[in-house]
Structure 1
Amino acid sequence: MASILIVDDELGLQTSLVKAFSMQGYRAAGAGTATEALQRLELDAFDVMLTDLLMPDFDGITLMERVRHQFPSMVVILMTGGATVESAVRALKGGASDYILKPFTLAEIFHIVGRGLEQQRLKQENVQLNEINRRLQEIDQIKSNLLSAITHEFRTPLTVMHGWLDLLVGNHFGRLTVEQQESLSAVRKSAVRLGRLISNLLVFVEENRDPMTRERVPVNLADLLREVEGELAPDCAERRVELQMEIDPTLPTLLADADRLRLVFFNLVENAIKFNEPDGAVLVQARGDRQSLEVSITNTHGEIPPERIPRLLQPFTQGDMSMTRAAGGLGLGLALARSILDAHGGQLAIECGQGKGTTVRVRLPLPR
């Protein structure tokens, strides 16, 4: 239970208050002067000091100011029989939690002390929450810096790997046997996959730091989607998934960050291929009106339970995050897509049809 020091030169009131608070479960003690109160505080700690305003040696406001300097978290409540507006204002400005006019009932003083303790508890919790928030921000910054450093450092050796692989596959060091070609093909696929993961990590870090600073240029969405189709052709062949494109040839040009937008559709189409089944299909449809462009990406398998959709939009999350999951990846594709589209004033929606796979819809505003 809380502890309280009662300071009053009226011995009868001091004694009765000590007894009353003790009966309420407080650890209570009394002092007859401000000097005696300071001596008690040197020997023992109290949660609350209930002090009279007028005392023989010096007044309660001066005592409060000295106590506040040494014990800033203590709840200080002033008692007075002749308070003025000026003394009340001075008391509250000096750090008093509250004041009460004499005479008062026990119920009134219990209520005021309890309220002061509750306010102090909330202040302490707020300080703790602010400290936790500060530490979380520091940890988040460390994580961001670490991811940025790792991904940048990975890019250099990956570039070297691609260079040597191109030389080897191009027979610059002699003709390769079929087995060697197959082995190097497997290495190249892994290098490409690693490059995609690194690119996503870099963009994730940059988007979290400042999503709005990159230049917007005119973008032909039809051309961009065709580029994505060409890049993912090997993935379709490997997984035996047919990629179908239905693009309105009259799509207007939009203003966007071309690299970021390409990454959005690359990740979304790659997900539709990856979370599909052999002999499945992915349909990409693009159409527009005077105000916006809409792209829908639908696969024939890989249906997502509706309750999992909000979770999938969080970074580093997939429907199955176990070590034995069928599809790899960092779980950044949807989170990155939403972040980039938000920066463009766009929208992303996921629709799950019963037994009909999953559709991701992207809507982008056109320049006015």
Structure 2
Amino acid sequence: MSDQSVSAPRGDRPRGAPLPPRISRAAPAVLGYAAVRALGTAILAVAAAVQGKDALHRLNGRWDSVWYVRIAENGYGYDVTLPDGSVHSDLAFFPLLPALERAVSEVLPVGAATAGLAIGWLAAFAAAWGIYAVGAHVAGQRAGVLLAVLWGVYPTAFVQSMAYTETLFTALAAWSLYAVLTERWIAAGTLCALAGLTRPSAVALVAAIGASALVRLLQRGLTWRTAVGVVIAPLGWLGYVAFVAVRRGSPTAYFEVQAAWGNEIDGGVALARFVGGHLTGPAPLAGVGLIAAIGLLLWVLWLCVRQRQPLPLLVYAAGIVVISLVGAAYFGSRPRLIMPAFPLLLPAAVALAGPARRTAAVVVVALLAVASGVYGAFTLLGTGPP
């Protein structure tokens, strides 16, 4: 893999620099993304038909989607007490998606579940466009197209077709990062604040904006726009944490709610125990496979560093990876939690972007699309959440 730098040009955005890439230039990325996701959805539909199951219900009527719909319809205040005595509160779910579901369902003649699915799909295309914009900005048009398409064939890309928050969050994060790269600090901070109302992993985006602003301060000083963007960036996440604190009457209430769901930050202890349990259990090869998967993830992150990606992309991707690994959430959810870290795919996109590798790129994307679709159908038609 080449370690050729893909860093964005230094210096302020030149006067007259273009606005976000026109849809005509982004069209190959968006259409390519639509094609691979259509294939994945078709595989799910066929598999569901064979098993006599409802594919649509798998996309907007199970697991986290149900919690978001309940919040959209009734507001916060729903708790479930499990047999072991632990309490799952809907305060664990951030408010932007259910707020949008409620707004759409009040304007259009659709229910909140259908609204959530529509929002997820629209956000997926916005995310693909934003991912393309970032990739094209730092590595060229072809790499940008491939970056968006590769995100669409990520192993857990089936979640991108669900009424989940991953697509909405990734869209906001991608465009926020693009705004940082093009020196639009207030836009970057505003989009980051919205991301902070969508998923807790927005802290990685806040860190990316803060680190970029710090470097700018040391190199050239801060402008008032940069300062305003940095101040705005964490307000969404902090605002929701404060809301939960006031509602529960405890400054640490948000973290207590997450801990009750088993999502507390434990520094990776739960992950180590999970891997160790497989290594010492009846199927040690599974443990070896888990170690290999984690090693591959860290190697890809190192490739991003060697590739000299712009600082905000590195900080964001590393932050998402760290957040996904140090929490106590069950292992099966971690690939989904890492999915918004699209800069991890940039080394592969650049490697496949050469003119002499068009055939290889088509073959690789096609194989990955089929594999992702089959895995998605297997997971969604199973019993456990992704």
**Smaller-chain TM-score range?**
under 0.3
**Which structure is richer in relative contact order (CA contacts within 8 A, separation 6 or more)?**
2
Which structure has the highest strand share of the two? 1
- In our comparison, the structure showing a higher alpha carbon Rg is 1
Which structure has the highest helix share of the two? 2
The TM-score with structure 1 as length reference comes to: 0.23
